[in-house]
């Protein structure tokens, strides 16, 4: 009986390891594709694959996280304002599933902030104050949960840099936040299948900040 129990335990452990190994490989392969995506169709295709991985695994928050991230990024290409909320609602469902599996996760709060920021695009004047507050609160929580998360500083920087001064924008502060994000990206580079998006965005904004500073000194 003891031998039978030991055999079953070993089989169970082997199956679990095989599933975990397969999951990591699937995420890694899809992340390679995600890093090269530049179109709406591309984001939707990669996002669908992440959703299939999430459905197969069910207990892995990262698969839902990346599926949501792809859905959010695809919204950048949406020209029909009436469709933005519906697409973001779908992304929010995936983010909620990720949060259920991994509560109080700094990375997931960053996605919540992204969703709020994109909702502003439907009507900047009407939605700006409400959704900016929601996004900033999410990023505040993201920083508390993980002060070394560069994406929290990147998104705060984008908010400050792109918002007009009369509505609370501050390009100088935005540039400082980009510098902070850049430092964090370099201090602790992401490894494996952990989120690593945003570094290219930081570099782009830093270039804009440098051009702005150069123009101001002329």
Structural contact between residues 119 and 131, judged by C-beta atoms closer than 8 angstroms: yes
What are the extents of the domains in the chain? 17-103, 105-218
From its phi and psi, is residue 15 left (phi > 0), alpha (psi between -120 and 50) or beta? alpha
Q: What is the pLDDT along the chain (218 residues), one digit of tens a residue?
A: 444 433 333 333 323 323 588 999 999 999 999 999 999 999 999 999 999 999 998 899 999 999 999 999 999 999 999 999 999 999 999 999 999 999 999 999 999 999 999 999 999 899 999 999 999 999 999 999 999 999 999 999 999 999 999 888 999 999 999 999 999 999 988 889 999 999 999 999 999 999 887 777 66
Question: DSSP letters along the chain, please?
Answer: -HHHHHHHHHHHHHHHHHHHHHHHHHHHHHHHHHTT--SHHHHHHHHHHHHHHHHHHSS-HHHHHHHHHHHHHHGGG---HHHHHHHHHHHHHHHHHHHHHSSS-HHHHHHHHHHHHHHHTT-HHHHHHHHHHHHHHHHHHHHHH-TT-HHHHHHHHHHHHHS-GGGT--HHHHHHHHHHHHHHHHHS---TTS--TTHHHHHHHHHHHHHHHHHHH-
Exposure string of 185-210, with b = 16+ CB inside 10 Å and e = fewer, is beeeeeeebebebbbebbeebbeebe
Q: What is the CATH number of domain 105-218?
A: 1.25.40
Helix pair 199-217, 150-162: axis angle to 10 deg: 40
Under 8 Å CB-to-CB from 31, ≥6 apart: which residues?
A: 66, 193
**What is the length of the chain?**
218
**How big is the chain by its Cα radius of gyration, in Å?**
20
Which pLDDT value is given to residue 11?
39
Which pLDDT value is given to residue 218?
62
């Amino acid at each position: 009986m003891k031998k039978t129990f030991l055999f079953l335990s070993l089989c169970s452990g082997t199956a679990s390891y095989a599933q975990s190994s397969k999951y990591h490989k699937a995420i890694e392969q899809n992340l390679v594709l995600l890093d090269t995506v530049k179109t709406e169709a591309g984001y939707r295709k990669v996002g669908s694959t992440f959703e299939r991985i999430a459905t197969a695994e069910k207990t892995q928050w990262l698969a839902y996280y990346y599926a949501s991230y792809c859905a959010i990024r695809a919204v950048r290409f949406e020209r029909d304002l009436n469709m933005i909320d519906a697409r973001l609602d779908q992304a929010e469902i995936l983010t909620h599933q990720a949060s259920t599996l991994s509560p109080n996760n700094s990375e997931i709060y960053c996605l919540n902030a992204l969703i709020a920021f994109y909702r502003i695009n439907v009507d900047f004047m009407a939605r700006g104050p409400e959704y900016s507050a929601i996004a900033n609160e999410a990023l505040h929580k993201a920083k508390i949960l993980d002060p070394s998360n560069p994406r929290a500083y990147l998104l705060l920087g984008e908010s400050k840099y792109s918002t007009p001064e009369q509505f609370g924008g501050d390009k100088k502060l935005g540039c400082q936040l980009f510098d902070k994000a850049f430092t964090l990206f370099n201090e602790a580079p992401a490894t494996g299948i952990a989120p690593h998006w945003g570094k290219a965005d930081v570099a782009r904004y830093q270039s804009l900040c440098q051009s702005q500073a150069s123009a101001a000194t002329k």
